[in-house]
A = this chain, B = another copy of it.
Amino acid sequence: MDNVFDLDSAIRKVPDFPKKGILFYDITSILADPVAFKHCIDSMIDAYRGERIDAVAAIESRGFVFAAPFADRMGIPLILIRKKGKLPGETISRKYQLEYGEAEIEVHEMDVPKGKRVLVVDDLIATGGTLKAATELVVAAGAQVAGIFGVVGLPFLNYRSMLGGVPIKTLIEYHGE
């Protein structure tokens, strides 16, 4: 939790989205508030000060809005991890399980800097399924996973066990209802 800026108040909570019984933590209200958005990017920079981060990989598509300013401020490469079929070049891909069925994400293998330390960024960490597939892509493309960052974490969905020993940082956590 954050002690200076009240990030919680900047996150819109939408009940029953995308389906009944789910409380959705909406970060678009952060983006609409320049003070809140600056707080998030400042906090990301602070969180990794003193660590070597060579590149940032962003999960489509809300991950893009936090990873892009981070990459811009840090002067490091930004790699997009997208849903299957969106990237035009040579890709490697990973399937992963959803509650019903499966999904697939991919990355331009040539854009992942070999042997470098890559931070994987999304807006929210829930079960960690997408992020686990993303870290596997980073490794399969020849880089190291420096860590995982999410603005919001929902640890009651057990992402820490899903994501094993990878260092995970969030700016705010919610603990169920």
- Contacts from A to B (Cβ < 8 Å): 12, 14, 17-18, 24, 26, 28-29, 31-34, 37-38, 41, 58, 60-61, 64-66, 68-69, 71-73, 75-80, 82, 85, 87-89, 108, 111
> What are 6 pairs between A and B in contact, CB < 8 Å?
A14-B88, A14-B89, A31-B79, A38-B72, A64-B68, A72-B72
**CB-CB < 8 A to A29: which residues of B?**
111
Complex CA–CA separation, A90 to B36 (angstroms): 21
The distance in angstroms between the C-alpha atoms of A71 and B31, with both chains bound, is 9
Q: Decide: B80 and A38 in contact? CB cutoff 8 A.
A: no
Which residues does chain B contribute within 8 Å of A31, judged by CB atoms? 68, 71, 77-80, 111
Beyond the given pairs A26-B88, A28-B108, A31-B80, 19 more chain A to chain B contacts, judged by CB atoms under 8 angstroms and listed by A's residue number, are: A24-B88, A28-B89, A31-B77, A31-B78, A32-B77, A32-B79, A34-B75, A34-B77, A38-B75, A41-B72, A61-B82, A64-B64, A65-B68, A68-B68, A69-B69, A69-B71, A69-B72, A69-B73, A72-B72
Known: A78-B65, A79-B32. A71 touches B24 (CB 8 A): no
**B17→A88 contact, CB < 8 A:** yes
Q: Shortest CB–CB separation between residue A61 and chain B, in angstroms? A: 4
A60 to B, closest residue via Cβ? B61
Please pick, from B26, B61, B111, the residue contacting A28 in the complex, using a CB distance under 8 A: B111
Please tell me if the beta carbons of B111 and A76 are within 8 angstroms of each other in the complex: no
B80 touches A12 (CB 8 A): no
Output the nearest chain B residue to A74 by Cβ-Cβ distance. Answer: B34
- In the complex, the answer to whether A32 meets B111 with C-beta atoms within 8 Å is yes
Residue in B64, B71, B73, B89 whose CB lies within 8 Å of A61: B64
